[in-house]
Amino acid sequence: MIFLKAITVPTLFKTLAELCENLKSTTKRNAMINLVASFILQLEVRETSAAVLMLIGRAFPKWDQRVLEVSWAALGTIIRKILNLSDEAYFQAFDKTGDAGEAIESLFREGKIRRQSTLFQNELTILEVHRSFNAIAGITGTGSRERKERLLETLFSSATPLEVKYIVKILIGEMRTGFHEGLMELTVSHAYRIPLKVVQRASMLAGDIGEVATLAKNKGEEGLQRLKLKVFRPLKPMLAQKIESITEALKEHGGKTALEHKIDGARVQIHKSRSIVKIFSRRLTDVTSSLPEIVELCQNEIEEAEVVLEGELVAVNKKGKPMPFQNLMRRFRRIHKINRIAEEIPIRLYLFDLLYINGKSLINQKYTKRRERLGKLAGSIPLTKNIIASDPDVAEEFYKQAIKEGHEGLMLKNLDSLYTPGVRGKKWLKMKKVLEPLDLVVIAAEYGYGRRHGWLSDYHLAAQDPDTNELLTVGKTFKGLTDAEIIEMTKRLKGLTVRREGNKVIVVPQIVVEVSYNEVQKSPKYSCGMALRFARITRIRYDKSVNEVDTIHKVREIYNNQFQRKSRAPQL
Ligand code: AMP
Report the side by side order of strands in the sheet with 409-413.
239-242, 424-432, 409-413, 257-262, 386-389
Which range marks the domain in which residue 126 is found? 72-172
Q: What distance in angstroms lies between residue 189's CA and the mean position of ligand 1's atoms?
A: 33
The span from the CA of 71 to the CA of 527, in Å, is 23
Residue 147 lies in a domain: yes
Q: What distance in angstroms lies between residue 49's CA and the mean position of ligand 1's atoms?
A: 31
In this structure, the residue with its CA closest to atom 1 of ligand 1 is: 240
Q: What distance in angstroms lies between residue 376's CA and the mean position of ligand 1's atoms?
A: 22
User: What pLDDT score does 119 carry?
Assistant: 42
Structure letter (DSSP) for residue 337: S
Residue 182 lies in a domain: yes
The span from the CA of 212 to the CA of 169, in Å, is 23
Name, in order, each residue with C-beta under 8 angstroms of 487's C-beta and a sequence gap of 6 or more: 455
The span from the CA of 426 to the CA of 436, in Å, is 27
Residue 1 lies in a domain: no
Using a 6 Å CB cutoff, which residues line ligand 1?
A: 237, 240, 260, 262-263, 267, 282, 312, 352, 384, 411, 430
Task: Yes or no: say if 287 and 281 are a contact pair by the CB < 8 Å rule.
Answer: yes
| Residue 305 and residue 384 in one domain | yes
Residue 3 lies in a domain: no
Ligand 1 nearest atom to the CA of residue 386, by list position: 19
Cα dihedral sign for 24, 176, 161, 12? negative
In this structure, the residue with its CA closest to atom 12 of ligand 1 is: 267
The span from the CA of 396 to the CA of 403, in Å, is 11
| Residue 244 and residue 354 in one domain | yes
Q: What distance in angstroms lies between residue 334's CA and the mean position of ligand 1's atoms?
A: 23
Ligand 1 nearest atom to the CA of residue 413, by list position: 20
Task: Yes or no: say if 389 and 349 are a contact pair by the CB < 8 Å rule.
Answer: no
Domain finish residue from 163, 193, 225 = 225
| Residue 358 and residue 477 in one domain | no
262 is catalytic: yes
pLDDT along the chain (572 residues), means of 10: 61 98 95 98 97 95 71 83 86 77 88 52 90 92 86 92 95 88 96 95 87 97 91 89 92 98 93 96 85 96 97 85 76 74 87 96 95 98 97 96 89 96 90 88 92 92 93 94 93 92 92 92 91 92 89 91 58 54
The span from the CA of 452 to the CA of 535, in Å, is 19
| Residue 265 and residue 386 in one domain | yes
User: What pLDDT score does 568 carry?
Assistant: 45
Residue 386 lies in a domain: yes
Residue 62 lies in a domain: no
User: What pLDDT score does 7 carry?
Assistant: 63
Enumerate the β-bridge partners of residue 447.
456
The residue type at 479: K
Within 435-490, strands assigned E span: 438-447, 456-465, 470-477
Residue 4 lies in a domain: no
| Residue 313 and residue 454 in one domain | no
- Per the residue annotation, which of 169, 236, 262, 427 is the catalytic one? 262
User: What pLDDT score does 569 carry?
Assistant: 53
**Number of structural domains found in the chain:** 4
User: What pLDDT score does 565 carry?
Assistant: 54
* Residue from 329, 411, 432, 534 to probe ligand 1 pocket by mutation (most atoms less than 8 Å from CB): 411
The span from the CA of 458 to the CA of 214, in Å, is 39
In this structure, the residue with its CA closest to atom 8 of ligand 1 is: 262
CATH (domain of 76) = 1.10.3260.10
| Residue 287 and residue 400 in one domain | yes
| Residue 475 and residue 417 in one domain | no
User: What pLDDT score does 101 carry?
Assistant: 87
User: What pLDDT score does 341 carry?
Assistant: 79
The residue type at 418: L
Task: Yes or no: say if 208 and 185 are a contact pair by the CB < 8 Å rule.
Answer: no
Q: What distance in angstroms lies between residue 213's CA and the mean position of ligand 1's atoms?
A: 31
| Residue 286 and residue 408 in one domain | yes
* Residue from 261, 263, 329 to probe ligand 1 pocket by mutation (most atoms less than 8 Å from CB): 263
Structure letter (DSSP) for residue 290: G
* Residue from 262, 284, 354 to probe ligand 1 pocket by mutation (most atoms less than 8 Å from CB): 262
Element (H, E) at 428: strand 424-432
User: What pLDDT score does 343 carry?
Assistant: 80
Which residue pairs from 165-169 have beta carbons closer than 8 angstroms and sit at least 24 positions apart in sequence? 165/17, 165/101, 165/102, 165/104, 165/105, 165/108, 166/13, 166/16, 166/17, 166/20, 166/54, 166/101, 167/13, 167/129, 168/75, 168/100, 168/101, 168/104, 169/20, 169/57, 169/100, 169/101
CATH (domain of 259) = 3.30.470.30
Task: Yes or no: say if 464 and 551 are a contact pair by the CB < 8 Å rule.
Answer: yes
User: What pLDDT score does 205 carry?
Assistant: 84
Domain finish residue from 369, 400, 432 = 432
User: What pLDDT score does 118 carry?
Assistant: 46
Name, in order, each residue with C-beta under 8 angstroms of 374's C-beta and a sequence gap of 6 or more: 309, 351, 352, 353, 354, 383
CATH (domain of 505) = 2.40.50.140
Instruction: Please choose, from the candidates 488, 414, 411, the residue with its C-alpha nearest in 3D space to the C-alpha of residue 456.
Output: 488
| Residue 329 and residue 426 in one domain | yes
Predicted TM-score (pTM) of this structure: 0.65
The span from the CA of 23 to the CA of 390, in Å, is 50
The residue type at 417: S
Structure letter (DSSP) for residue 434: -
The span from the CA of 404 to the CA of 409, in Å, is 10
| CA distances to 238, 267, 410 from 64, in Å | 17, 16, 29
| Residue 376 and residue 254 in one domain | yes
Residue 31 lies in a domain: yes
User: What pLDDT score does 564 carry?
Assistant: 56
Instruction: Please choose, from the candidates 326, 314, 330, the residue with its C-alpha nearest in 3D space to the C-alpha of residue 531.
Output: 326
Cα dihedral sign for 55, 57, 63, 65? positive
User: What pLDDT score does 117 carry?
Assistant: 44
Element (H, E) at 92: helix 87-96
| Residue 303 and residue 405 in one domain | yes
The span from the CA of 165 to the CA of 176, in Å, is 12
User: What pLDDT score does 315 carry?
Assistant: 87
| Residue 252 and residue 369 in one domain | yes
Domain finish residue from 150, 172, 194 = 172
